[in-house]
Amino acid sequence: MFRLELSGADTRLGSTLCARCPQGAAGCCASPPAVAWADLGRIVAHGGAGWLLEEIASGRLRAGGRGLLIRRVAPATGEGARCAYHGPAGCTIAPGRRSATCNYYLCDDGFEEAGEGRGDPDAARGREAHEALTALYGRWDIELGERVRGRWPEGPPWDAAFLTWLGEEHRRQVGRARRALRRLSP
């Protein structure tokens, strides 16, 4: 079953195939994406600044060149390393606190199972949403990365003030992209 939840920059895609991923128990969570600049701004805009600071302090998130990197851990079962937030039932964090990629990414197998190529309008709309969000977040990350490097050439301070700034910048980006995001609204 395919799931498409249109909600602008917070759009989510999913598939029941994820629970029985053909790529293995961790699936795409074996190599988690960065929590990039636009992701961080979105998380802060949803009230997650304190959570981010806690996760940085815990070591599950650490500074990287494009934002924060998610720690990979090896489960006690001896399986390969995976995202620190991957649990027995999938992701253990709320969608508003995930990297946007984790919310809108669906592999080709998932789209195929959803009916893409067989004329399923939800699958086709899901693919369009995936492509639109990939383009938007990619552009936003580049813009924010340039601003971060311009303001903090030695690297950002990773404190509440910096995260607040990212949240405000993200809100501005969403405002400027209102027209593109309208297509991703219910």
- pLDDT of 127-169, one tens digit each? 889 999 999 999 999 999 999 999 999 999 999 999 999 999 9
136: in domain: yes
Q: Would residue 185 count as lying in a domain?
A: no
In a domain, 137, yes or no: yes
C-alpha 97/C-alpha 60 separation (Å) is 13
Average pLDDT of the chain is 89
Arithmetic mean of pLDDT, 86-98: 88
Task: Using the structure block, give the residue that is written with the tokens 């949403």.
Answer: 129
pLDDT of res. 69 = 96
Could you give the dihedral angle defined by the CA atoms of residues 97, 69, 16 and 184, in that order, rounded to the nearest 10 degrees? 60
Instruction: Print the domain residue range for 59.
Output: 2-176
The reported pLDDT for the residue numbered 145 is 96
Q: Is residue 159 part of a domain?
A: yes
The yes-or-no verdict on residue 2 having pLDDT over 80 is no
184: in domain: no
Tens digits of per-residue pLDDT, 14-33? 887 777 788 877 788 888 89
Which pTM value belongs to this model?
0.89
Question: How confident is the model over 33-62, as pLDDT tens digits?
Answer: 999 999 999 999 999 999 999 999 999 999
Pick from 149, 131, 142, 128: nearest CA to 173: 142
More reliable by pLDDT, 108 or 76: 108
* CA dist 85 → 50, 97, 99, 118 (Å): 17, 11, 11, 34
Considering its fold, how many domains does the chain have in total?
A: 1
Surface-to-core class of residue 132, CB atoms within 10 Å of its CB (0-12 exposed, 13-18 middle, 19+ buried):
middle
Is residue 98 a part of any domain in this protein? Answer: yes
